[in-house]
Amino acid sequence: MNVDQERALSETEGSLPDGGRPAAVIDRAAITVVQLPVRTPRKHGIGDVSGKTANVILRLQTTDGIVGWGEAAPWPVFTGTAEAVAAALDVHLRPLIIGADPFRATEIMTKADRVLVGHPEAKAALEMALYDIAGKIAGLPVAELLGGRCRDTVPLSVSLANPDFDADLEFARSLVEDGVRIFKVKTGFSGHAFDIHRLETLRATFGDTIDLRVDYNQGMVGHEALRRLRDIEAFAPDFIEQPVPADHWDTMAQLRTAIDTPLLADESVFTPADALRAVKAQIADLISIKVMKSGGMRRGQEVSAVAEAGGIACYGGDMFESGLAHLAGLHMIAATPNISLGCEFYQANYYLAEDLLAERFPVDNGVVVVPRKPGLGIDVDEARLAGFAVETRG
């Protein structure tokens, strides 16, 4: 650093209140485990969901009363558990949070990776709460803090995974009336014939007015995959997602070259380092980015950057989130050109019995609208949060 740079930095510091100390620091962190009822049972290649989903809500507050919200949406068969998230935030990350300047998110998240391995959902919750506060103080939506938006709306995909397909078909009809035009069919949980029947029926019912996508959630093993995928290709899906287990990278690479439909990696790629290896090993044409896998929006953007350098476009995936975590994903996608395949942020409006946000998550005629208010854009309804709470720490 030369003399001019040092002078510029000291002048900047001197312009801040209290001789360079931040105007406000975080002094409260409340962690709430919630059980959110879901509307229907769902099956997937690697596990089922029914009744309720357990998520963790983080409420940070600064010394001058600004509140930031974060959510972790773990799934025990995919990323982790609510119990582990609550302990990670309360025991291991809380010391980094209390007394911290909410504008130093990059520093805090770097420290979080040093003190705690894994736990990406807990880190995602922390990062989104920090950005929510920073955006509210700065008067800017989170997308603007992440580099600025390159899109104002994101096409919505809704996943079909109800073992009662008649109910799912009615669900799809109502969604088409709502303007939804992308459906992801969860396959590989109840036999190949059932998968073919559902795809056939959807194409017969809606023709080419809808885009179909297929997600196996690791539900096949290598020897059965190729013949089945060739059958699936007859229904012209946009992509086929994670047909085989996450660590079967050679099989992914072989399937990718054997079929014409783009292959998408989800469970195989969590981090930027995973993305780099995926590019080198040529396991996929596309990658699904989820803040719950990457450990936050900035890491998600890094996954996208690595993928983009390798010629791979990305998709905005999610877990069983409320509208709160959807908002973080939405701001990330808005600020990341290469996440260009739409999003699946449908749970808040179409899967949870009730969302946690104080206003309706912004879906309009089949697209999700990126908020323009400061921070994440919508706060949590605290009374509703209390109603779903099963454990509170701090």
- Please report how close the Cβ of residue 367 comes to Mg ion at its closest, in angstroms: 21
Q: Give the CA distances from residue 48 to residues 215, 240, 268, in Å, rounded to whole numbers and listed in that order.
A: 14, 20, 19
Name the pairing type of β-strands 157-160 and 153-155. unpaired
Of 102 and 329, nearer to Mg ion (C-beta) is 329
Q: Which of 43, 123, 136, 290 is catalytic?
A: 290
Please report how close the Cβ of residue 184 comes to Mg ion at its closest, in angstroms: 8
Q: Is the distance from CB of 181 to CB of 365 less than 8 angstroms?
A: no
Q: How far apart are CA 143 and CA 137, in angstroms?
A: 14
Tell me the window of 124-132, 208-216, 321-329, 385-393 that interacts with Mg ion (CB under 5 A): 208-216
Give the three-state DSSP class for 354: coil
The answer to whether 266 contacts Mg ion (rule: CB under 5 A) is: yes
Is residue 184 among the annotated active site residues?
no
- Residue appearing with tokens 């600025």: 148
Nearer to Mg ion, 195 or 241 (CB): 241
Distance between CA 22 and CA 133 in Å, rounded? 13
Q: Which stretch binds Mg ion (CB under 5 A): 96-104, 225-233, 258-266, 299-307?
A: 258-266
**Distance, C-alpha 77 to centroid of its chain:** 16
Q: What is the C-alpha to C-alpha distance for residues 171 and 286, in angstroms, rounded to an integer? A: 28
How far the first Cα of the chain sits from its last, in Å, is 42
Q: Least distance from C-beta 394 to Mg ion, angstroms?
A: 33
Give the x-and-dash track for 163-202 against Mg ion (CB under 5 A). ----------------------------------------
**255 phi, psi to nearest 5 deg:** -65, -40
Are 316 and 346 within 8 A, CB to CB?
no
| 303 vs 357, beta carbon nearer Mg ion | 303
Within residues 211-240, the interface with Mg ion by CB under 5 A covers 215
Q: Which of residues 7-26 bind Mg ion (CB under 5 A)?
A: none
Q: How many residues of this chain bind Mg ion (CB under 5 A)?
A: 3
State the nearest-atom distance from the C-beta of 148 to Mg ion, in Å.
29
> Is residue 321 near Mg ion by the rule CB under 5 A?
no
Q: How far is the CB of 266 from Mg ion (least distance, A)?
A: 4
Interacting residue ranges for Mg ion, rule: CB under 5 A: 215, 241, 266
